[in-house]
Amino acid sequence: MDALIWILVGLPAAAGALVLTGGNRAERAAAPAAVAVAAVLAAVAVPAVLHRLAATAPGLPGIGFGLAVDGLAAVGVCTLAAVFAAVAVFSWGEREGEGGRSRYYGLLLVFAAAMLATVMATDLLTLLMAWEVMGAVSYGLIAFHWREPRTGSSAAVAFLTTRTADLGMYAAAGAALAGGAHNLDLSELAGLSAPWDHVAAGGLLVAAAGKSAQLPFAFWLSRAMDGPSPVSALLHSATMVAAGGYLLLRVQPALAAAGWAAGAAAYLGALTALVMGAVACAQRDLKQLLAASTSAQLGFVVLAAGVGGVSGGAAQFAAHAAAKSLLFLVAGVWLVRLGTQDLGRLRGAARRHPVAGACFAIGALALGGIPPLSLWAAKDLVLAAAHLPGLHTAGLAASALAAGYAGVALAAAWGRPAPSARHEASASSTAAPGVGAAVRLPLVGLAAAAAVLGALALPSVHHWWAVMLGHPNAPAPGPVQMALSALIAVAVLGAVALAGTRRGVPAAERRGVRALRAWLGLERAARAAVAVPVLAAARGLAAFDDRVLDRAVTGAAAGVPLLAGALGRRVEPAVDAAVTALAAGVRNLGAQARRPQTGLLHQYYAQAVAVLAAAALVFVVASAVM
Amino acid sequence: MLSVVVFLPLLAAGVLIALPRLTPRAVQTTWVAAAGVELVLVGVLWSGYTGGRGSGEGAPGFAGPLAYETDLEWIPSIGSGYHIGVDGLSLPLIAMTAVLFLACAVYSLRARQERPRGYAALFLALQTVSTGLFAALDLLLFFVFFDLSIALMYFVIAGWGHGDPARSALRFFLYTFVGSLALLVGFIGLYLAADPHTFDMVELAGQTPLDGRAVAGGAVLLAIGVGLAVKTPLAPFHTWLPPAHTDAPAAGSAILAGVLLKMGAYGFARIALPILPDAWRAWAPGIAALGAASVLYGALVALAQHDFKRMVAYTSVNHMGYVVLGLGAAGTAAAGTAPQAAQLAVSGAAVQLVSHGLLTGALFLLAGVLHARGGVYDMGAYSGLAGAAPRFAAVLAVAAFGSLGLPGLSGFIAEFQVFTGGLGLAPIPTAFALPGILITAALLLRAMQRLLLGRRRLPPGTAFGDLRPAESAAIVPLLVLSVLIGVLPRTLLDVVAPAAAAVAELVLR
């Protein structure tokens, strides 16, 4: 039975690899294959969730590959299976006949495998592998239209920003081993020895903030919008981006054990929800608005992890996935048919595609926190656990901003189009395809999910949910709080939508608005603070390598002939002269030595006497001295 | 059996030289056949390898028990013998060598080579020398193979290179030859320190003759270290590498980076660490720091390159830095502590040797394809190749992502182990090396973006055909093996991990 869990990861991975390498033959089979895999995944997910499967396989020395389905993973698996199925069916209906299908579906399938492994991973090795594969697939899908000059750099910005944050997870893995979690088990991270517990918690917090587009990493999500809309629906809103918040929910005990990390997560999430909510309100491009709102909404998940509200965070994760993937899919429908995602030009789009428009409305109302829809319930669950000072107020303010940007989107979709635009649009719509059943079905399904998850507001449903997640005593919001948040949402969304439908998108161009629209210049700041200095250092070192290091070696080598020349010119004659002088000296000595050999016997006797006398003298002196 | 594996390519080279009037086609076929048989034989070795159990008694105190051992007298007067054998460190490298040489043989089918007989014979001789080096268990034998590899590669670059090959080849030869002299001095130091005098690695590892003699041990380690660092290459001893690579033929670059660089790093794990454990421990923090410096330096300098092949050459400095970092970090493990971290660091270093051989081999062969089509390596001359050559683009993308350490390919398995094991042992060097994987990601993505994406642009007057069958058949298997190791690391680690554990034990005892 437990082997079934490998199918959840292995099947989409294998199918994806086959589709990617299948060449032209795979082009036609790609979409049906993806839908079939989605169906199998949904079917296998049921026993996996019901029986809480778990399995491990040998990996590195002492560290295994571990997958398991617990309450939180059940939420993750179901969310991924549902959104993946919706996106696969939608793409089949919407993208048939386009080029590059094997690449598109192949990457989506590999992504599904990686995301499933991410949510089910029980150790840092498995998690990190799946986590980074998601990033690479995201690169490939953002650069899907690779001929466009901008997509390549957008994909690189997204990949490099998230990988920068991923260094935190590499550090966390090292810290886990050093701190005593020998198999890198996620459940053991809360018991690491100091100071490694702080390194691990901090590293995971950074990695999660990067993936979930929290401040200051949020800008990559704006660039990720260069990918196809269904990709944004699956990766860049519902699942991959949300994985950061999900990870923090999973390692919440480790954050709490490190002390500061939990508080940092809570305030980081609240700050992102506020700031990125404001950024979303200022956008004039639908996908950019949705992207900024993704950062803001996931801020609530991060906040929940920081305050220990795992059940609220998981609810927010699932509800946001349903609502946001729905909104992105509808944005994709309009982009294909109307050729724009500009809010001004989209005016009235919902009226011309009523089913899509109605689904969009449900998604936007849910996003704005309108009761009794899902995100209203989820956000209240998150805020019910937020007891740190200021967090509750910040959360309410962020909810008001959410109602604001939802109102902006809603007004643009359902507002009356300007007369000229109406004419233009009707001209283009005659050529554009209708919204077929394969497109409608996933939209309606996601809309139903975005609405029904509001049932979490019911105490009994919430209790079941909290028990499933293993937090049976999770705090539930009181009726006053729920009424207050509902009132704020309805009032703000109503006011913004009314003003928007009357006046259209405001053309006011204040400086603050421009800064918000440009995502606060975060990307430029990151370039100036990181990319520019690194590139300058790289160029400097390359110049050093060529001009100093290499020269030094060549110089040293060139020194050898110089030295040889010097030796030849100076030392060699001197040595030669010395040798000649020595020879002359020896010859001289030889001539001297010949002189006593006179052949006269009496002179030899005299010499012998002299030598003996000298020897005797030496002997006497030596013995006297010793 | 092992001797057959070592000398079979040399025999084939001799046949090629001896038989006159072979057509170029026949020469190439013979080369591929010889490399293929060699790979099959290595496969037999691999499947028969049981971690040393049941095949000879093995040598305690060395990196795991030995298999397929042969120990014959060679120069008995100085205690040097023809002693070869394999263990978990050397067997994967011998296998990688066989795979890479076969890939180069297949790759060379792509086009008619000038003077094919000499070319094939040189590569076959290089294969014998490389395999012999990894199997050698005698310092003098190791040294002979080490120097022969330099000499043979000199002829490959000088005879079949492009650009300014004579100059690059000479620089390569002189630089690495000077390095090998330092190595010889170190080996003689070990010989003199041993009692009885011997060059046998197994005996030396059992004796560890310089333990407890800090000055002599340090001096010998310095000599051996400099000799190996030149070949590895570690910054700042790497400046011979970029010109040698840029001017070498594609297959020569692949072998130079894939196999010859491994000789240096392998020497650290095979000789320096087991025979000089005390000195290694004493200098381990410095060695780890040198490795980390190489990681960062290589990555940063590579980031600034515009020449694709030069860039890949500098990433080798980066990747080999991880090996030295891992071995250095293992050396800092305190005696008596849990061995897992040191074991992971060594195992990561060993996996990196294999992984880098596969991935960089693939990247250099792809650089050869780029040069064959467009005539230049300058990345600014190309754009949008994904449209003209989709298979080339896909293969290059996989190789690049592998090289930047993406999970699912072998590089990640290596680097993750080095980082995870190293962080607790040598926190500062490891933390400094960590951004290396970010910088390599940046530079490889930038290269892909310049070459593959965007609107199509080619050097004037050239056409960019997609990968031909011979090119695909050479490059794709390298990547398949890398994915196999990345997804199922046990295929490699079952052999490597026991050896890594044994090396870690040597340090920890």
pLDDT tens, position by position, A357-385: 999 999 999 999 998 999 999 999 999 99
- Residue ranges of chain A with pLDDT lower than 70? 418-433, 503-509
pLDDT value at position B409? 95
Mean pLDDT of B466-483: 95
Residue among B301, B386, B430 whose CB faces A545 most closely: B301
Of all residues in chain A, the one with the smallest CA distance to B456 is A147
Each residue of B197-228: pLDDT tens digit? 999 998 898 888 888 888 999 999 999 999 99
Three-state SS annotation for A120-153: HECEHHHHHHHHHHHHHHHHHHHCCCCCCHHHHH
pLDDT value at position A106? 95
**Are the beta carbons of A151 and B453 separated by less than 8 Å?**
yes
pLDDT value at position B33? 95
Q: Is a pLDDT exceeding 90 seen at residue B58?
A: no
Residues of chain A contacting B321 with CB distance shorter than 8 Å: none
Q: Return d(Cα B320, Cα B441) in angstroms, integer.
A: 16
Residues, chain B: 509
Of all residues in chain A, the one with the smallest CA distance to B442 is A160
Residue among B297, B427, B497 whose CB faces A541 most closely: B297
Q: Return d(Cα B76, Cα B200) in angstroms, integer.
A: 11
Residues of chain B contacting A196 with CB distance shorter than 8 Å: 424
Q: How far is B164 from chain A (nearest CA, A)?
A: 16
CB neighbour class for B411 (10 Å; exposed up to 12, middle 13-18, buried from 19): buried
Confidence band of B54 (pLDDT split at 50, 70, 90): very low
The answer to whether the beta carbons of residues B479 and B358 sit under 8 Å apart is yes
Show the tokens assigned to B401: 């992502």
Confidence band of B36 (pLDDT split at 50, 70, 90): very high
Q: How far is A241 from chain B (nearest CA, A)?
A: 19
DSSP label at residue A259: S
Q: Return d(Cα A322, Cα A607) in angstroms, integer.
A: 125
Confidence band of B333 (pLDDT split at 50, 70, 90): confident
Mean pLDDT of B377-396: 93
Q: Return d(Cα A593, Cα A589) in angstroms, integer.
A: 6
Mean pLDDT of B336-341: 82
pLDDT value at position B22? 83
pLDDT value at position A241? 95
CB neighbour class for B174 (10 Å; exposed up to 12, middle 13-18, buried from 19): middle
Three-state SS annotation for A155-197: HHHHHHHHHHHHHHHHHHHHHHHHHCCCCCEHHHHHHCCCCHH
| CA-closest candidate to residue A91, choices A442, A354, A568 | A442
pLDDT value at position A433? 65
Rounded percentage of chain B residues whose pLDDT exceeds 90: 76
As a whole number of Å, the CA-based R_g of chain A is 38
Show the tokens assigned to B10: 């040399």
**Are the beta carbons of A182 and B239 separated by less than 8 Å?**
no
Q: Is the peptide bond before B196 cis (omega within 30 degrees of 0)?
A: yes
The answer to whether the beta carbons of residues B139 and B189 sit under 8 Å apart is no
Compute the half-sphere exposure of residue A104: CA atoms within 13 Å on the CB side of its CA. Answer: 29
Domain coverage including residue B36? 2-508
pLDDT value at position A603? 87
pLDDT value at position A424? 54
Q: Is a pLDDT exceeding 60 seen at residue B105?
A: yes
Mean pLDDT of B407-430: 95
pLDDT value at position A625? 81
Residues of chain A contacting B387 with CB distance shorter than 8 Å: 147
A61: contact with B, CB 8 A cutoff:
yes
Of all residues in chain A, the one with the smallest CA distance to B414 is A60
Q: How far is B258 from chain A (nearest CA, A)?
A: 23
Q: How far is B357 from chain A (nearest CA, A)?
A: 20
Paired with A185 in beta bridges are A123
Each residue of B66-78: pLDDT tens digit? 889 888 988 888 8
Q: How far is B405 from chain A (nearest CA, A)?
A: 10
Residue ranges of the domains in chain A? 4-420+435-517, 518-595, 599-626
Each residue of B129-161: pLDDT tens digit? 999 999 999 999 999 999 999 999 999 999 999
A18: contact with B, CB 8 A cutoff:
no
pLDDT value at position A430? 47
A187: contact with B, CB 8 A cutoff:
no
Paired with B75 in beta bridges are B80
pLDDT value at position B57? 42
Residue among A60, A147, A182 whose CB faces B454 most closely: A147
A60: contact with B, CB 8 A cutoff:
yes
Q: How far is A129 from chain B (nearest CA, A)?
A: 5
The answer, yes or no, to whether ipTM is higher than 0.85 is yes
Compute the half-sphere exposure of residue A291: CA atoms within 13 Å on the CB side of its CA. Answer: 27
The answer to whether the beta carbons of residues B380 and B435 sit under 8 Å apart is no
Average pLDDT of chain B is 91
Show the tokens assigned to B362: 């693939």
CB pairs under 8 A between A and B: 147
In degrees, to the nearest 5, what angle opens at C-alpha A238 toward C-alphas A500 and A306? 95
| CA-closest candidate to residue A15, choices A85, A159, A113, A131 | A113
**Are the beta carbons of A132 and B430 separated by less than 8 Å?**
no
**Are the beta carbons of A160 and B174 separated by less than 8 Å?**
no
Confidence band of B61 (pLDDT split at 50, 70, 90): very low
A534: contact with B, CB 8 A cutoff:
yes
Task: List Cβ neighbours of A576 (8 Å cut-off, separation of 6 or more).
Answer: none
Residue among B423, B448, B453 whose CB faces A174 most closely: B423
Mean pLDDT of B483-503: 92
Number of structural domains chain B divides into: 1
Task: Specify the pairing of strand A63-68 against strand A54-60.
Answer: antiparallel
Rounded percentage of chain A residues whose pLDDT exceeds 70: 96
**Are the beta carbons of A62 and B439 separated by less than 8 Å?**
no
Confidence band of B7 (pLDDT split at 50, 70, 90): very high
Each residue of A258-283: pLDDT tens digit? 989 999 999 999 999 999 999 999 99
Q: Return d(Cα B193, Cα A85) in angstroms, integer.
A: 70
Task: List Cβ neighbours of A366 (8 Å cut-off, separation of 6 or more).
Answer: A319, A322, A323, A373, A374, A375, A376, A450, A451, A454
Residues of chain B contacting A167 with CB distance shorter than 8 Å: 434-435, 437-438
